[in-house]
Structure 1
Amino acid sequence: MTDARQVWALGDFPRIARETISGTGDLLVAECGVQAGQRVLDVAAGSGNVALPAARAGARVIASDITPELLAAGRADAEAEGLRLHWVEADAQALPFDDDAFDVVLSSFGAMFAPDHVRTAGELTRVCRPGGTIGMVNWTPQGWAGRFFATVSAFAAPPPPGAQPPVLWGDEAHVRGLFGARVSTLRAEPRTLAIEHFEAPIDLVTYYRANFGPVIATYAALGDDPERVAALDAALLDFATQTNLDPDGARWELEFLLVVAQAAPSA
């Protein structure tokens, strides 16, 4: 079975992040009020969609991710900009940092993919100081991304026992239940971003098939079954066509949940 490190190393996720979700990093940094000198952790950072904007704001940033190839890409981008931050290989479910180590803990479409939601929420709050800020952007179950993952997962191997669907992190009630009394306040707001740099739905399908690790891994697992490969091709094209909002071109709106919480004060 291909593990998460291998899956996210497939294709070119840094390109996808740069071309589709880059604005959410700046949004999260602004909504969480990241300031110069603060200790900031980006969990499941990928290639630094949040870590780089936080570093530009002058924060002292650590970017952690389970996939070293993504960290290497982020490190190269940071060096090209002259930004100084640390890159640490780490699992969001078992972060190698002390309790209360950070003023702000962030995650942009990252920690949501860790299979154990309870453990992940516990780690996000554990490493955040009392009164500090926890900020996330997560895909919603009912939005474009939730439907996209449902389309792909219908052709994928079953998830490991006990793994929860990532898009549950985009459900406000689920997130409130995960954090519970470990946060004193929690604000959750649905937002959208647009994808509009393709000419037609087939271009979007081709793009994700070539660059997005979970899609690449699903196709690879179907490699000896041409009928299933053709069925996945058709399902993705049907999905892209049905969700296209521009009948004369190509435009999609992706819904996500912005979450900003304050860690509860110490007892």
Structure 2
Amino acid sequence: MMGRMVDWGAGRYETTAAELAPVAQVVVEHTGVGAGDDVVDVACGTGNAALLAAARGARVIGVDGAPRLLDVARERAAAEGVEIDLREGDLAALPVEDAAADIVVSVFGVIFAAVPIDALREIARILRPEAHAVITAWVPAGPIDAMLGAAGRVVARTSPKPPPKRFAWSDAAAVAGIAHDAGLELVSTDAAALPIRAASPEAYVDAGREHPMALAMRPALERAGTADEARAAMLAVLREANESPTAFLVHSPYVIHRLRRVG
């Protein structure tokens, strides 16, 4: 994963990566990638989509800003017997040649770009004419979004400044607008939902303590003495939303954008 405000190599992003693996499967199937295709996985993380594309016979480049996650992806590729060209780089300056890709994918990666249009310009640059990119974005709705909002409100009470406003990556009209300026056309937007499971709401929240974004938030909570309050607020949301009578199950909505390079 790439992002300037969060150290994505910290903690245990692997836990979240495993949770997101079904989305990578959906994205790769959505592309129709096959043998001989040149694929770039932008913000590849531990390699979920890159590995699936390589297993289909594609030539794959995976780019990420976190060296540790690239090491995990290399280990996974070796274990699965597939080849992936893994490169460290930034969303605004991908270490990939012009017009190198038949397909670009980004599973909840490009949405963390500091300047969204710069990231889309880079995707347009590395795509071949008329080639496609498929990216996923979370919808600001559902239990996980509500859980994060509950924690965020606790942090906001003691934060000296409000969090930066995020670009509306789930909004097709907003994406279409900046895509046009970047040399891309939004072809379609499909809605989907990721089932998220754990042994219990408590187990889910505790596992999430090692997520890089949770680690970035923790110092502010500990300085303010509100860590327990934030945990309680998160659990209250998840317990109410839980769909399982014996464990933990919720569904987190997301969208799949398909974009085409113009010209």
**Cα displacement (A) at 1:136:** 0.9
Q: Is the 8 A contact 2:17 2:48 kept in 1?
A: yes
Task: Report the counterpart of residue 30 of structure 1 in structure 2.
Answer: 29
Task: Report the counterpart of residue 13 of structure 2 in structure 1.
Answer: 13
Gaps of 5+ in 2: none
Give the Cα separation in 2 of the matches to 1:140 and 1:219: 24
Which of 240, 258, 261 is equivalent to 1:260?
A: 258
Task: Report the counterpart of residue 152 of structure 2 in structure 1.
Answer: 153
> One-letter code of the match for 1:178?
I
Counting only pairs closer than 5 Å after superposition, residues 38-49 of structure 1 correspond to structure 2 as 38-49=37-48
Secondary structure of the 2:248 match is coil
Task: Report the counterpart of residue 233 of structure 2 in structure 1.
Answer: 235
C-alpha spacing 1:153/1:25, structure 2 compared with 1 (3 Å)? same
> One-letter code of the match for 2:215?
I
RMSD of aligned Cα (Å): 2.1
C-alpha spacing 1:147/1:129, structure 2 compared with 1 (3 Å)? farther
C-alpha spacing 1:174/1:91, structure 2 compared with 1 (3 Å)? same
**Cα displacement (A) at 1:5:** 7.7
Task: Report the counterpart of residue 58 of structure 1 in structure 2.
Answer: 57
**Cα displacement (A) at 1:183:** 2.9
Secondary structure of the 2:97 match is coil
In the TM superposition, what whole-angstrom CA distance separates every residue of 1:132-162 from its partner, at most 9, and x where no partner exists? 11001111122344334433433276578xx
C-alpha spacing 1:170/1:256, structure 2 compared with 1 (3 Å)? same
Q: Could you state the TM-score of these two structures normalised by the residue count of structure 2?
A: 0.89
Task: Report the counterpart of residue 200 of structure 2 in structure 1.
Answer: 200
Give the Cα separation in 1 of the matches to 2:190 and 2:39: 22
Secondary structure of the 1:129 match is strand
Give the Cα separation in 1 of the matches to 2:142 and 2:128: 33
**Cα displacement (A) at 1:67:** 0.7
Q: Sequence identity of aligned pairs in percent?
A: 29
Q: Is the 8 A contact 1:39 1:60 kept in 2?
A: yes
Q: Could you state the TM-score of these two structures normalised by the residue count of structure 1?
A: 0.88
